[in-house]
Structure 1
């Protein structure tokens, strides 16, 4: 993607602004990036229409009682990793799929009703299950940070404050009772899954409600932590060329502390506590390979209670937030 698409400084700032708030108005974005609203609207819409950037609404399955999330590592027969990843990306149960280098060949996130369903999916859902020689599944039990909360660092604190006022993001709290969504709320969420920037008139027309009701429903879903807006783009376009996943073994007594510390690191996009051999899973980005050593020594090396820190580099990502990623890095359109 970064080889075929080149963004100028304004484009990069627009992408960074949409990462901070995918539903921000073009007027808000213009103020944040210090450009005219007409230019921002034109250039921003070009980025969206081209598939370079896409905003999608994702229901928080744990908050809404829709299932559980599992991080799955797979080892494949030689030469089959890409084929396995393609087959996994075609499954409705996968939210994220990537080919990696290191101790695993493919990594994926599944959202299923029960952890027992993963075995059935991997056996019955794939055309060639024998291509997989080993799987390791870890249930996500606590999120410290998610990709939609990540700040690229491209914009200053004033822009962040403008685009993320209090209440825009409902943090990952520990939910004891899931929210039960109405059919109308599910319908609103489906519209936003296809286009996270859909206007209230568009939502109202699709669902059969008034614009004011559509606005209230969206605000309520976001405020209650049920709906999270995710901006999808190739991080290499912002000069962040190395995407990686890191799998930690942390002493139980330090798990909360380490997870909270890693969530504050600029390079961290996602970090969660999991069951299994690895009890902490992290997604991160760095500018280049030369930054990996300092990350491992200065960031990871300073963490208390870490026994293992296994890094895998993402070579090709096929699916993010349920959205298929084309070979050129653009996002598949729906509808």
Structure 2
């Protein structure tokens, strides 16, 4: 798929507000509504999707980064099984096809214990399981990737960014919201008639509940696409050990790097994890030696190549 500057601008805008109207987007970008709609439809047909996710931080969910080591002939099947779970995102095959990494978020400890203590240990051909509890997001997920390079200027960014208006109100995701969230996870830009059909609610009820979920920060919208589409063919996960006194400073610095799309502090054998996109391995070398190397407090770095994203944020279609 060929991506030009207008396509990139549309993608960048959807990262700021996944449900921004075509008319607003057209006005900000200085093109017609029809042009924006046509570009989005083409991007969508090529695999670019907007997807809603529960904000585990706001909702108080258990959030885990899980690393699984398996026999080479079983890694793909294990990754596919994890990708079909509604509580997973960023399911990735890595490290020569023997490692699977995923993010899991659950509303309670029971689901987490079932997965970690019962289901995964019984999985055939699984060699090891390492679980890292996510303590704090610096970039990516619900807090967004603010450091990413963008085609939008500051004024356009300011006009397009969605800001939850009720963050002082507790965020709650009720059981009856399940069909609505499932539909929005498959396609975050579904219209109110389609959402009404998926939930059995009236369009006015859907509109009111969706805005409440967004305004309180219970859900957020992300964009799923193959990074290679934008020219980023070297995708790596970095696992860092950072001295505790420098953990916050290093995390905040990484969040400012345009190469970084996700960074979080974790509990586990390492305490900082980042997902980095570079155009090639040479750029990764430059990034690691020139940007991470000088950071005070970084004691150890493990880099793992991400071979294939099985799932990013959206449900499998």
What band does the TM-score fall into relative to the shorter chain? 0.7 to 0.9
- Partner Cα separation in structure 2 for residue 169 and residue 101 of structure 1: 42
Query: What residue ranges of structure 1 are gaps of 5+ in the alignment?
Result: 325-331
The one of 292, 302, 308 aligned to 1:300: 292
Secondary structure in 2 aligned to 1:323? Answer: coil
Count the aligned residue pairs.
310
Moved more, 10-19 or 182-191: 182-191
The answer to whether the Cα contact below 8 Å between 1:58 and 1:189 also exists between their aligned partners in 2 is: yes
Q: Which residue of 2 aligns with 1:164?
A: 161
Q: Which residue of 2 aligns with 1:310?
A: 302
Moved more, 265-274 or 213-222: 213-222
Secondary structure in 2 aligned to 1:143? Answer: strand
The answer to whether the Cα contact below 8 Å between 2:166 and 2:216 also exists between their aligned partners in 1 is: no
- TM (normalized to structure 2)? 0.86
- TM (normalized to structure 1)? 0.82
Q: Which residue of 2 aligns with 1:286?
A: 278
Structure 1 169/37 Cα, relative in aligned 2: closer, same or farther at 3 Å? Answer: farther
Alpha-carbon shift at residue 81 of structure 1 (Å): 2.9
The answer to whether the Cα contact below 8 Å between 1:12 and 1:237 also exists between their aligned partners in 2 is: no
The answer to whether the Cα contact below 8 Å between 1:16 and 1:152 also exists between their aligned partners in 2 is: no
Q: Which residue of 2 aligns with 1:56?
A: 51
- Which has the larger share of helix? 2
The answer to whether the Cα contact below 8 Å between 1:246 and 1:281 also exists between their aligned partners in 2 is: yes
- Partner Cα separation in structure 2 for residue 255 and residue 103 of structure 1: 30
Q: Which residue of 2 aligns with 1:328?
A: none
Moved more, 298-307 or 184-193: 184-193
Alpha-carbon shift at residue 15 of structure 1 (Å): 2.3
Regions of 4+ moved over 4 Å: 183-187, 208-213
Deviations 1:177-217 (A, max 9, x none): 96333455444333322321123344345445554443332
Q: Which residue of 2 aligns with 1:138?
A: 132
Q: Which residue of 2 aligns with 1:83?
A: 77
Structure 1 92/193 Cα, relative in aligned 2: closer, same or farther at 3 Å? Answer: closer
Alpha-carbon shift at residue 17 of structure 1 (Å): 2.4
The one of 211, 214, 228 aligned to 2:220: 228
Q: Which residue of 2 aligns with 1:34?
A: 30
Q: Which residue of 2 aligns with 1:119?
A: 117
Structure 1 107/185 Cα, relative in aligned 2: closer, same or farther at 3 Å? Answer: closer
The one of 68, 71, 83 aligned to 1:74: 68
The answer to whether the Cα contact below 8 Å between 2:171 and 2:217 also exists between their aligned partners in 1 is: no
- Partner Cα separation in structure 2 for residue 12 and residue 168 of structure 1: 27
- Partner Cα separation in structure 1 for residue 260 and residue 50 of structure 2: 20
Moved more, 204-213 or 70-79: 204-213
- Partner Cα separation in structure 2 for residue 224 and residue 132 of structure 1: 40
Is 1:14 aligned to 2:6, yes or no?
Answer: no
- Partner Cα separation in structure 2 for residue 91 and residue 99 of structure 1: 16
Moved more, 237-246 or 106-115: 106-115
Secondary structure in 2 aligned to 1:222? Answer: helix
* Cα RMSD for the two superposed structures: 2.8
- Partner Cα separation in structure 2 for residue 178 and residue 273 of structure 1: 24
The answer to whether the Cα contact below 8 Å between 1:72 and 1:110 also exists between their aligned partners in 2 is: yes
Secondary structure in 2 aligned to 1:215? Answer: helix
Deviations 1:136-180 (A, max 9, x none): 11111221222461244233223212211544897xxxx9x9633
Q: Which residue of 1 aligns with 2:172?
A: 180
- Partner Cα separation in structure 1 for residue 162 and residue 79 of structure 2: 38
Is 1:106 aligned to 2:100, yes or no?
Answer: yes
- Partner Cα separation in structure 1 for residue 84 and residue 125 of structure 2: 16
Secondary structure in 2 aligned to 1:155? Answer: coil
Secondary structure in 1 aligned to 2:12? Answer: helix
